[in-house]
Amino acid sequence: MDQTPYIARLQNVAKTHMLDNVAVRALKDITVDIPRGKFNVFIGESGSGKSTLLNLIGCIDVPTSGNIEVCDQNTRLLDDNQLSDFRAQHIGFIFQTFNLMPVLSAYENVEYPLLLKQTPERERKDLVLSTLEKVGLLDHINKFPNELSGGQRQRVAIARALVKKPELILADEPTANLDHKNSAEILDLMLSIQNSEKTTFIFSTHDIKISHNVENLFMIMDGAIL
């Protein structure tokens, strides 16, 4: 089947969640098409709904109403196991707090998604090493997360998202916990990877400076896209 030009299509998507028995509308009737093969940035203040939107696109949350298609798949039609497999196959995640597995080395953290995809060992090794080389961490493959700096940890997280060659990488404020220098390096790294691999990135940030470097920018405020 031919791919559509959109990596994600949201139609009238709303998300309401309960906070101390009070219904909070995190997203209000959002309809948006996010292009494939681009570096897409959602920019908005804290609490504007960026993370909720990325969670819905990443299939780790379900909308209260509306339809979501990700990688040409209507996610409402998938059960929990199918969603897990879908994420394992198609989506890479980069988190604000890195979220590396503390008991796994840098190499093993990057290898982890390939184990879920049941990639053969030989191929796995080649992929892990080449990806770690791309993010400049070949000298640190046996180090555990607590032995790495913040910037290095985020590079491992990028390698982990990238290693399985997903169609979509979701990066939820990946530079928020880094200093200015590291933030710039990480952003440059992701931009260069997107440029070379043509992987679709959906990136959320509250930092307006980042918007200068990207082609597809979506402004989000109070749960709605402007």
Partner 1 sequence: MRFLSIAYRNICRNKRRSLMTVLAIAVSSVSVLLFGGNLISIIYSLQTGYVRTAGHIHIYKRGYSRFGTANPGAYAMTDYERVLSIVRGDPEVKRKLRAAMPFMMLQGIAGNFKANASQGFTGIGILPSQMTRFMTWDQYHLKVTKADLSLGMGDQDVVDGVIGYGMAENMKLCKELKIEGCADDPAMKKDNAGSGKTVDFSALTDEDFPPETANANIPRLDLLAATSSGVPNVVTMTVHNARRFGSNAQNNGLVVMHLDMAQKLICGRGQPSVTGIMIQLNRTDDMDAVIKRLQQLLPASDYEVKSFGEVSPMYNQTIAMFATTFGFVALIMGVIVLFTTINTMSMSVMERVSEIGTARALGLRRSAIMTQFVAEGFLLGVIGATLGTVLALAASAVINWAELAWTPPDYATPVLLSVHLFLSPFFLPACWLGLIAVTTLSSFFPARNAAHMPIVDALRHH
Contact positions vs partner 1 (CB under 8 A) = 55, 58, 60-61, 80-81, 84-89, 93, 95, 97, 99, 101-104, 112-113, 115-117, 160
Q: Distance of CA 193 to CAs 60, 117, 132, Å?
A: 24, 22, 12
Nearest-approach distance from CB 109 to partner 1, in angstroms: 10
Nearer to partner 1, 24 or 116 (CB): 116
Side by side, the strands of the sheet bearing 168-172 are 91-94, 168-172, 200-205, 39-43, 216-221, 224-225
- Smaller CB distance to partner 1: residue 109 or 152? 109
* DSSP 8-state assignment for residue 4: P
Q: Supply the DSSP symbol for 75.
A: G
CB of 121 to partner 1, least distance (A): 11
Nearest approach, Cβ of residue 80 and partner 1 (Å): 6
Strand partners, 15: 27
Are 53 and 219 in contact by the 8 Å Cβ rule? The answer is no
Q: Which is nearer to partner 1, 28 or 117 (CB)?
A: 117
Q: How far apart are CA 64 and CA 25, in angstroms?
A: 10
Bridge pairing between strands 73-74 and 168-172: unpaired
State the DSSP string of 115-140: HHTT--HHHHHHHHHHHHHHTT-GGG
- Report d(CA 189, CA 88) in Å as an integer: 23
- Smallest gap from residue 22 Cβ to partner 1 (A): 17
Nearer to partner 1, 41 or 100 (CB): 100
Q: Taking the complex as a whole, how short is the minimal distance between the CB of residue 218 and partner 1, in angstroms?
A: 21
**Measured between alpha carbons, how far is residue 60 from residues 53, 74, 83, 205 in Å?**
10, 14, 8, 19
User: Is the Cβ of residue 41 or residue 94 nearer to partner 1 in the bound state?
Assistant: 94
Cβ of residue 211: shortest distance to partner 1, in angstroms? 25
Nearer to partner 1, 16 or 216 (CB): 16
